[in-house]
C-alpha cells in the first residue's frame, strides 16, 4: 500500500511540523542545515584528505540511496555492496564525509550499546568492528586501554568502598593526587574493557572501504526532501534520485530533516585540547597509565589523550533550540570547557588550550537507538546512539545493510524502529523542557 506524504510524516514522529524541503532551508529554522559551516576537529587535521568526491547532479534511478556519510552510512554502503555487488549504491552527504559526530568524538570504544545492556549482541557488534578494521587493514590506532571512572562525590566513593568487587579496582583520592595531578576527585575505579580509536582515521578507513567495493559517495549533496513510495524519491540541490531502498543515517541531524521529531533530540558537545604534551607532562598527568577518563555525571565529562599526545576534555553543552545542529555561542562553550578543565587539572592553565571543536549527538529519552524499517518498509533508519555510538553505528550500518539486501543475521531482530521509545515534546515545549532542564544537570 502506498502511504501518503502526511501519513509518512506521522509514522516517523514528525507530527504536524512543516515538511522538510527547500523552503525550510531558506527560512533557516527548519530543514536541513546544509549550508552551515562546521569547525574542524583536531582529529580531522591529522588525517590525509580523501580523494575529492563529487556533488550529486542530474536524475538517477538506483537500488539503494544512503542519506548521511558518517560511520552508519559508510558501513551500510560497504556491507550492502558486499552483499549485492550488482546493486547501484549511492551515498549522499550534506557536508563532507565524516564531518558529523564521526570525526568529532572522543574515540572511546567498548562492547556496549546504550539501551541494550543484557544481550550478547553488543559483543558481536564489537567483534564485527574489530574484524572490519583488521580485514580492511585500517590504520586507526585501535588499541585496548584502561579506563578511569572518576567519582566526584564522597558518597559515591563510600559506596564503592563497601562493595568488595568494585573495591578491587579502587584508586583512592590520595593515590590519584599523586599519580594524575589533581585533588578534584573522591576516588576512581579502573575498568579494563575499553579501547581507543582515532575517529577521523576510522572515517577515512570506512570511506576508502566503501569506495573500494564500488559504492558511489557524493559530498555537498544534502537530501532536502524524501518522498516515500516505490521507488522513493529524494530531492537534492543538484537533482532528483529515485531509489528502491533508502537508508537514513543522519543521526543528530534527523529532526532537522523533519523526521522523528517526537522521539529524538540533538545534544551539543564541546571538546578542547592542549597542545602536544611533552613526555614529562604526560607523566605528570598520569596519561601514560590512564589515557581515558570518564566522570560519573548525568551530563558526563570525558577526558582523553590523542595518540599524538594532546590531552582533551569533552563536555555536554545542552540543547540549542529548534533542533538546531549549530550551537549559538561557541566562544562561551570554549570558555566553559576551559574552566572545567582547569578546575580539575590546575596545571593545564600553564600549558594552554589550543584546539576546540563542537559536535552534536542524537538522543532518545530511554537511551535506545531508533533503527529499523519505516513507512512502506523500503525506508530504513538508524540514528540516535545516545552519545556512545562508534561501534553501534558501524554495527547498525551492517545490520541495516543485511535487512535491506535480505542477508540473514540473527541480530536484525534488534532493529525495531520506534517501538519502546517514549515521546519527547517537540517545538516550543521541547525548548521549555530541555534547555533549562539540562543546564541544571550540567557539571561545574
Ligand atoms: C563530542 C562527541 C564525543 C563522542 N564520543 C564518543 C565516544 O567516545 N565513543 C562513542 O562510542 N561514541 C562517541 N560519540 C558518538 C559517536 O561519534 C556517534 O554515535 C557516531 O559517530 C554516529 O555516527 P553516524 O554515522 O550515525 O552519525 P554522524 O557521524 O553524525 O553522521 C551523520 C551524517 O549525516 C549528514 N547529514 C545530515 N543531514 C543530512 C542530509 N539532509 N542529507 C545528507 N546528509 C546529511 C551529516 O552531515 C553527517 O555527516 C561522540 C560524539 C560526539 C559529538
Q: Which of the listed residues 250, 268, 323 should we mutate to test ligand 1's pocket, taking the one with most ligand atoms within 8 A of CB?
A: 250
User: Whose alpha carbon is nearest atom 4 of ligand 1?
Assistant: 105
Q: Which of the listed residues 191, 361, 396 should we mutate to test ligand 1's pocket, taking the one with most ligand atoms within 8 A of CB?
A: 361
Same domain, 273 and 349: yes
Grid cell at residue 338 = 576551559
Q: What is the pLDDT at residue 10?
A: 36
Q: Is residue 69 within 6 Å of ligand 1 at its C-beta?
A: yes
Q: Which of the listed residues 101, 114, 267, 324 should we mutate to test ligand 1's pocket, taking the one with most ligand atoms within 8 A of CB?
A: 101
**Residue ending a domain, choose from 319, 345, 363:** 363
**Residue ending a domain, choose from 318, 344, 363:** 363
**Would you call 316 exposed, middle or buried from its count of C-beta atoms within 10 A (0-12, 13-18, 19+)?**
buried
pLDDT tens string 355-372: 999 999 999 988 899 999
| Torsion of Cα atoms, 119 then 125 then 126 then 128, to 10° | 150
Domain presence at residue 115 = no
> How many Å lie between the centroid of ligand 1 and the Cα of residue 133?
19
Q: What is the pLDDT at residue 35?
A: 67
The span from the CA of 256 to the CA of 21, in Å, is 10
Q: Is residue 104 within 6 Å of ligand 1 at its C-beta?
A: yes
Same domain, 383 and 269: no
User: Whose alpha carbon is nearest atom 49 of ligand 1?
Assistant: 100
Q: What is the pLDDT at residue 186?
A: 93
Q: Report the percent of the chain where pLDDT is more than 70.
A: 91
Q: Which of the listed residues 65, 70, 256, 317 should we mutate to test ligand 1's pocket, taking the one with most ligand atoms within 8 A of CB?
A: 70
Q: What are phi and psi of 434, to 5 degrees?
A: -80, -35
**Would you call 402 exposed, middle or buried from its count of C-beta atoms within 10 A (0-12, 13-18, 19+)?**
buried
Q: What is the pLDDT at residue 28?
A: 38
**Residue ending a domain, choose from 363, 395, 415:** 363
CA distance to 197, 205, 416, per residue, from 275 (Å) = 19, 26, 44
Strand partners, 241: 60, 234
Same domain, 305 and 397: no
289-293, long-range: CB within 8 Å, 24+ apart, which pairs?
289/146, 289/179, 290/146, 290/147, 290/148, 290/180, 290/190, 291/145, 291/196, 292/108, 292/145, 292/146, 292/147, 292/148, 292/194, 292/196, 293/147, 293/148, 293/149, 293/150, 293/188
Helix (H) or strand (E) holding 341: helix 330-344
Grid cell at residue 124 = 558481536
> How many Å lie between the centroid of ligand 1 and the Cα of residue 112?
17
Same domain, 413 and 376: yes
Domain presence at residue 85 = yes
Same domain, 310 and 337: yes
pTM: 0.93
Grid cell at residue 69 = 556519510
Q: What 3-state class would DSSP assign to 355?
A: strand
**What is the tally of structural domains in the chain?**
2
**Would you call 239 exposed, middle or buried from its count of C-beta atoms within 10 A (0-12, 13-18, 19+)?**
middle
> How many Å lie between the centroid of ligand 1 and the Cα of residue 99?
8
CATH number, domain of 34, equals 3.50.50.60
User: Whose alpha carbon is nearest atom 18 of ligand 1?
Assistant: 389
Q: Is residue 249 within 6 Å of ligand 1 at its C-beta?
A: yes
Q: Is residue 100 within 6 Å of ligand 1 at its C-beta?
A: yes
Place of cell 562546521: 38
Domain presence at residue 430 = no
Same domain, 345 and 311: yes
Same domain, 23 and 159: no
Domain presence at residue 439 = no
pLDDT tens string 428-444: 778 777 777 777 677 77
Domain presence at residue 136 = no
Same domain, 275 and 166: yes
Ligand 1 atom closest to 271 (CA): 1
CATH number, domain of 356, equals 3.30.9.10
Encode burial over 367-378: b for 16+ CB neighbours within 10 A, e otherwise. bbbbbbbbbeeb
pLDDT tens string 15-34: 323 333 333 333 334 567 76
pLDDT tens string 127-176: 999 999 999 999 999 999 999 999 998 888 888 777 767 767 899 999 99
Same domain, 62 and 186: no
Domain presence at residue 432 = no
pLDDT under 70: residue ranges of the chain? 1-31, 34-35, 118, 164, 167, 440
Domain presence at residue 122 = no
Same domain, 24 and 154: no
Find the domain containing 252 and state its range.
5-106+200-262+365-424
Euclidean distance between the first and the last CA atom of the chain, given in angstroms as a whole number:
53
Domain presence at residue 295 = yes
Task: Give the mean pLDDT of the chain.
Answer: 89
Q: What is the pLDDT at residue 23?
A: 32
Same domain, 22 and 163: no
The span from the CA of 372 to the CA of 387, in Å, is 19
pLDDT tens string 81-90: 999 999 999 9
Q: What is the pLDDT at residue 408?
A: 97
Q: Is residue 266 within 6 Å of ligand 1 at its C-beta?
A: no
Same domain, 188 and 172: yes
Amino acid at each position: 500500500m502506498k502511504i501518503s506524504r502526511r501519513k509518512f510524516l506521522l509514522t516517523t514522529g514528525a507530527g504536524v511540523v512543516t515538511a522538510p524541503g527547500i523552503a525550510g532551508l531558506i527560512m533557516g529554522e527548519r530543514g536541513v542545515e546544509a549550508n552551515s559551516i562546521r569547525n574542524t576537529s583536531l582529529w580531522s587535521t591529522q588525517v590525509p584528505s580523501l580523494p575529492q568526491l563529487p556533488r550529486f547532479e542530474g536524475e538517477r534511478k538506483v537500488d539503494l540511496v544512503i542519506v548521511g556519510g558518517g560511520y552508519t552510512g559508510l558501513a551500510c554502503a560497504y556491507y550492502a555492496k558486499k552483499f549485492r555487488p550488482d546493486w547501484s549504491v549511492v551515498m549522499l552527504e550534506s557536508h563532507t564525509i565524516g564531518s558529523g559526530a564521526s570525526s568529532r568524538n572522543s574515540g572511546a570504544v567498548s562492547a556496549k550499546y546504550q539501551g541494550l545492556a543484557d544481550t550478547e549482541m553488543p559483543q558481536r557488534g564489537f567483534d564485527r568492528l574489530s574484524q572490519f578494521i583488521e580485514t580492511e587493514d585500517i590504520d586507526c590506532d585501535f588499541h585496548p586501554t584502561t579506563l578511569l571512572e572518576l567519582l566526584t562525590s564522597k558518597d559515591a566513593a563510600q559506596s564503592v568502598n563497601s562493595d568488595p568487587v568494585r573495591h578491587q579496582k579502587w584508586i583512592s583520592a590520595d593515590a590519584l593526587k599523586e599519580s594524575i595531578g589533581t585533588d578534584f576527585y573522591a576516588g576512581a575505579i579502573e575498568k579494563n574493557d575499553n579501547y581507543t580509536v582515532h575517529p577521523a582515521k576510522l572515517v577515512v578507513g570506512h570511506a576508502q572501504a566503501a569506495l573500494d567495493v564500488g559504492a558511489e559517495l557524493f559530498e555537498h549533496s544534502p537530501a532536502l526532501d524524501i518522498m516515500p513510495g516505490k521507488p522513493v524519491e529524494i530531492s537534492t540541490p543538484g537533482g532528483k534520485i529515485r531509489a528502491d531502498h533508502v537508508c537514513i543515517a543522519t543521526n543528530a541531524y534527523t529532526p532537522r530533516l523533519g523526521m522523528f521529531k517526537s522521539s529524538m533530540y540533538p545534544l551539543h558537545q564541546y571538546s578542547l585540547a592542549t597542545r602536544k604534551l611533552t613526555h614529562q607532562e604526560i607523566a605528570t598527568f598520569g596519561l601514560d597509565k590512564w589515557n581515558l577518563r570518564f566522570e560519573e555525571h548525568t551530563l558526563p565529562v570525558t577526558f582523553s589523550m590523542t595518540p599524538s599526545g594532546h590531552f582533551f576534555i569533552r563536555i555536554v553543552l545542552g540543547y540549542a533550540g529548534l533542533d538546531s545542529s549549530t550551537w549559538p555561542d561557541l566562544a562561551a562553550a570554549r570558555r566553559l570547557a576551559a574552566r572545567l578543565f582547569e578546575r580539575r587539572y590546575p596545571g593545564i592553565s600553564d600549558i594552554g588550550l589550543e584546539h576546540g571543536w563542537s559536535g552534536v549527538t542524537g538522543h532518545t529519552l530511554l537511551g535506545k537507538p531508533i533503527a529499523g524499517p519505516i513507512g512502506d518498509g523500503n525506508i530504513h533508519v538508524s540514528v540516535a546512539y545516545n552519545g556512545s555510538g562508534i561501534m553501534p553505528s558501524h554495527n547498525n550500518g551492517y545490520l541495516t545493510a543485511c535487512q535491506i539486501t535480505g542477508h540473514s543475521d540473527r541480530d536484525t531482530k534488534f532493529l525495531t524502529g520506534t517501538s519502546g521509545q517514549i515521546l519527547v515534546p517537540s517545538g516550543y515545549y521541547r525548548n521549555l523542557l530541555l534547555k533549562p532542564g539540562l543546564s541544571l544537570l550540567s557539571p561545574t
